[in-house]
Amino acid sequence: MARTGDTKHHNRSNIRIYADMIALKRTTIANLLNLVALFAALKLSGAATNETVRLVSADLQQTSGPLNTMFKFCVGAGRANEGLRADWQRQLAYVHRECGFEYIRMHGLFCDDMGVYREDKQGNPEYNWQYIDELYDFLHRIGMKPFVELGFMPNALASGSKTIFWWKGNVTPPKDMKKWTDFIRVFVEHLKERYGDDEVRTWYFEVWNEPNLTDGFWAGTQQQYFDLYAATARAIKSVSPDYKVGGPATAGCGWVPEFIHFCDTNHAPVDFIATHTYGVESGFLDEHGDAGTVLSPNANSIFGEVNWIRQQISNSARPRLELHFTEWSASYTPADPFHDSYHSAAYILDKLKKCGSAAQSMSYWTFTDIFEESGPRWEAFHGGFGLLNYQDINKPAFYAYQFLNRLGPTELKNSDPSSWVCADKDGGVQALIWDFTNTHPGKKVHNQEFYRRDLPSQPKNKVTLNLSHLPAGSYFMETYKVGYRVNDAYATYRDLGAPAQLTKTQVAKIKSENSGAPVDVRTVTIGRDGKFEQQFDLRENDVVLIALKRQR
């Protein structure tokens, strides 16, 4: 039996042990909490490190060669007759000046609203080039060239009555192939006489548009299109063997191996492959402007198809053919708000950069919302294809091309995949940097719903731009930007209540708040070490152009 003193001592020992255990437990918990805090801090530190890890670095003594400007080789437009409008011509002159497009391609050159063909009572052909002359003279006057899409069929020459679009382009084969080829030959002879042989040698002649869409643009079979192509190509080459002709101008990159095989085995002239691609989940045509579309989640969309077609050409009997994507965009419908969204600028740059040198041109569809395949649109911002809306308001997509056009002619080596750094002959440097993040929620939500929302961009990272071997001296530095609520005309339009029709005051407000003016202008001095460093925040889908101009 324990004594009372021993019991008290034993109880004190137990209490002390228990207290020590509680203290140890508390210490352990505190240590665990400290570890959690440490891991959180490390995680945050890693995030902060990630914010600064993106480095865009270039050395003026390390060049990649001339900048590949396939992005501004050609741009699209709706139809030829729209090109006779004053507003269309005004917008094209502006876009040519600001974005540098060299060629323009459009549908409907031979539709009846261009007045090109009829027959007398005896069935003899009569030709008329006055409307085409007016259009092409304008292009020539502003320094552009036509990428001539040969179509659609004049009604008097058509074998049927099937048409497409509000303006009723006839999509049937010719009733008489001899009359068609004579028509083509006389047309090309007229171009040669009016614009000169040397000039027309620089043009491209593309036979038809998307003949693989037999419920849309072509009421014949694949073989009938191939026969039309061969006859047309030979008619063009009969005027000059140096004139460039190609096809099949298909939707969705279709028919390319079959087309090349046909041309090779039938000795049909071909100088280039033309085809089309759009960055949505499914479909190729929205004739009435009311389809629902979903931006593709495939990170390889657009440039994956470009590289695929280049590989098909390389594996063919004609491996050196030029490749021209004569239509491309995020979406094939003229009613997709992605076209108006700030997301479009970074999307365009992302796809073009990743195309590399696989294509000789990527013709953006289109430069303007003046586009009437489904008829005149009733809203100022309706998701139209254009870089500009009806009221000459620059969309974010416009700034992507304007910024590209401001790059110097020499590309500098740069390992960052989402940027270009270039130099000009006057010692200036331009760095075009962007983030493209596909924030679309997936197949259950159409673009037509998602991109009409207010979609604030989230912080992405910090970017450090490092340049070396700059000549010492003073430079003007201008920073331009497009992104969420920065040169984001659609956001301003939405703030106004998204009225279908805009007043003059509203147009002026949208233009003034989205003018493309630099967001920062300053003078910087480059020391003898020739180094320059600039750090800035980049949000999702931001695009930033930093231009250094040497002061003399």
Q: Where are the alpha helices (DSSP H) in 197-278?
A: 197-200, 222-239, 256-265
Count how many Cα atoms sit within 13 Å of the Cα of residue 191 in the half-sphere of its side chain.
26
DSSP codes, 401-440:
HHHHHTS-SEEEP---TTEEEEE-TTS-EEEEEE------
Q: Which residues of 258-272 are buried (b: 16+ CB within 10 A; e: fewer)?
A: ebbebbeeeebbbbb
Rg (the chain; Cα; Å): 30
Round to whole Å and give the CA distance between 47 and 25: 32
User: Is there a catalytic annotation at residue 210?
Assistant: yes
- Which of 73, 80, 137 lies closest to 102, judged by CA? 73
Round to whole Å and give the CA distance between 472 and 460: 33
Count how many Cα atoms sit within 13 Å of the Cα of residue 180 in the half-sphere of its side chain.
26
List the catalytic residue out of 82, 149, 210, 478: 210
- On whether the CB atoms of residues 539 and 484 are closer than 8 A, the answer is yes
Degrees (nearest 5) of the Cα angle 131, 132, 133?
90
Round to whole Å and give the CA distance between 237 and 10: 113
- On whether the CB atoms of residues 330 and 344 are closer than 8 A, the answer is yes
List the catalytic residue out of 149, 206, 305, 327: 327
Residue 176 Cα distances to 160, 172, 238, 263, angstroms: 12, 12, 19, 22
One-letter amino acid for residue 516 of the chain: G
Burial label, 328 (beta-carbon count in 10 A; 0-12, 13-18, 19+): buried
Beta-bridge mates of residue 119: 125
Round to whole Å and give the CA distance between 447 and 382: 12
Residue 12 makes CB contacts below 8 A (sequence gap 6+) with none
Residues with active-site annotation: 210, 327
